[in-house]
């Protein structure tokens, strides 16, 4: 006998349903104290429109009513520090890689951090989450001493050179919330002149800086990488932006966003509700 839809399976267990998701980790911090690259964007995994790193779309999760699912929003990394992971159930997006400065390479992450000005090594992103950061001005010969741009979920950060800094890699646009929004852009590299600092990538990447001008932080809840600092001495690089989790599910279901989490629910619209979780660690469940 076929069970009634939305009530019980033939075995007597609550019937599962599908949840689409966007899980973006925190972006990496920009490089400092001098000639730093841009921070890498937080890793991006999504079941709607597009996912990070040029990969195939993720698969929606099968959710059981009355079950708690662990949920964590990754924070943005401070300067020279990786962003933190974001987690929903079995899905983990990796924090963005930090940039570095001078002769040092960036760090690997969801998207890789840009290298410092005197290091030609770029840092890798994570498969199906983001792209690599850009290399720095390999010889450190100036006059700009450009740091590499941080990688984005949608593109590699561009390389720095003696005459220009690297741009942050662009992020990825998804319509899971009901309108197209771009997430997880890489931070721009720092340089030594006002006209050479790298812009951040689309999707919340922060711009790089020079001399006494402070870099721009990655945008909160977009997972953007922080901009790098180009002058010397100084410590004006910027932090990465925090991540976000967006969940899309049938409008017949009601979500409980547990203690420790900050979130809102929109809808119903077109047969679905959409919940956006912007901070914290806790559990979500549905009835």
Domain holding 268, by residue range, is 24-287
Mean pLDDT for 53-57 is 96
Does the residue 228 lie in any domain?
A: yes
Position 12 pLDDT exceeds 90: no
The larger pLDDT score, comparing residue 35 to residue 66, is at: 66
Burial class (CB in 10 A: 0-12, 13-18, 19+), 283: middle
Does the residue 9 lie in any domain?
A: no
pLDDT of residue 196: 67
DSSP at 128 = T
The total number of structural domains that make up the chain: 1
Does the residue 6 lie in any domain?
A: no
Q: Which two three-digit tokens encode residue 210?
A: 């020079």
For 6, 13, 250, the CA distances from 3, given in Å and listed in that order, are: 9, 10, 19
Does the residue 234 lie in any domain?
A: yes
> What does pTM read for this prediction?
0.93
Which of 124, 92, 93 has the alpha carbon at shortest distance from 111? 124
Which residue bears the tokens 């937080």?
A: 42
Could you tell me how far CA 149 lies from the centroid of its own chain? 15
Position 94 pLDDT exceeds 90: yes
Does the residue 39 lie in any domain?
A: yes
For 99, 161, 199, 208, the CA distances from 228, given in Å and listed in that order, are: 7, 14, 10, 5
Which of 85, 82, 77 has the alpha carbon at shortest distance from 97? 82
3-class SS of residue 217: coil
| Highest mean pLDDT of the ranges 10-24, 103-117, 175-189, 222-236 | 175-189
Q: Which two three-digit tokens encode residue 122?
A: 């770029």
CA atoms of 170 and 152, how far apart (whole Å): 5
The larger pLDDT score, comparing residue 121 to residue 229, is at: 229
Does the residue 280 lie in any domain?
A: yes
Position 236 pLDDT exceeds 90: no
Cβ–Cβ under 8 Å, residues 264 and 68: no
Position 2 pLDDT exceeds 50: no
Does the residue 15 lie in any domain?
A: no
pLDDT in tens, 132-191: 999 988 877 888 888 999 999 999 999 998 888 999 999 999 999 999 999 999 999 998
Helices H, strands E: what count in the chain? 0, 12
Q: Indicate the average pLDDT of the chain.
A: 91
Backbone CA torsion sign across 65, 280, 224, 101:
negative
Does the residue 125 lie in any domain?
A: yes
């Amino acid at each position: 006998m076929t069970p009634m839809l939305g009530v019980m399976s033939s075995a007597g267990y609550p019937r599962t349903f599908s949840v689409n998701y966007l899980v973006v980790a925190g972006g990496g911090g920009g490089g400092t104290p001098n000639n730093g690259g841009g921070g890498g964007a937080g890793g991006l995994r999504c079941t709607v429109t597009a996912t990070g790193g040029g990969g195939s779309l993720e698969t929606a999760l099968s959710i059981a009513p009355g079950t708690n699912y662990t949920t964590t929003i990754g924070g943005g990394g401070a300067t020279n520090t990786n962003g933190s992971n974001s987690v929903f159930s079995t899905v983990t997006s990796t924090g963005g890689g930090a940039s570095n400065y001078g002769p040092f390479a960036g760090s690997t992450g969801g998207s890789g951090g840009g290298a410092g000005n005197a290091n030609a090594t770029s840092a890798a992103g994570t498969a199906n989450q983001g792209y690599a950061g850009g290399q720095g001005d390999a010889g450190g010969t100036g006059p700009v001493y450009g740091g590499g741009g941080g990688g984005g979920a949608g593109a590699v950060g561009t390389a720095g050179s003696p005459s220009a800094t690297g741009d942050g890699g662009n992020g990825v646009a998804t319509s899971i919330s009901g309108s197209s929004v771009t997430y997880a852009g890489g931070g721009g590299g720092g340089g030594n002149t006002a006209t050479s600092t790298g812009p951040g990538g689309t999707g919340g990447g922060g711009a790089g800086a020079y001399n006494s001008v402070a870099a721009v932080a990655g945008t909160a809840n977009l997972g953007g990488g922080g901009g790098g600092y180009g002058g010397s001495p100084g410590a004006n690089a910027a932090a990465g932006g925090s991540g976000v989790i967006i969940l899309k599910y049938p409008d017949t279901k009601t979500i409980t966003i547990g203690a420790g989490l900050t979130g809102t629910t929109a809808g119903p619209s077109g047969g679905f509700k959409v919940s956006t979780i912007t901070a914290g660690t806790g559990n979500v469940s549905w009835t």
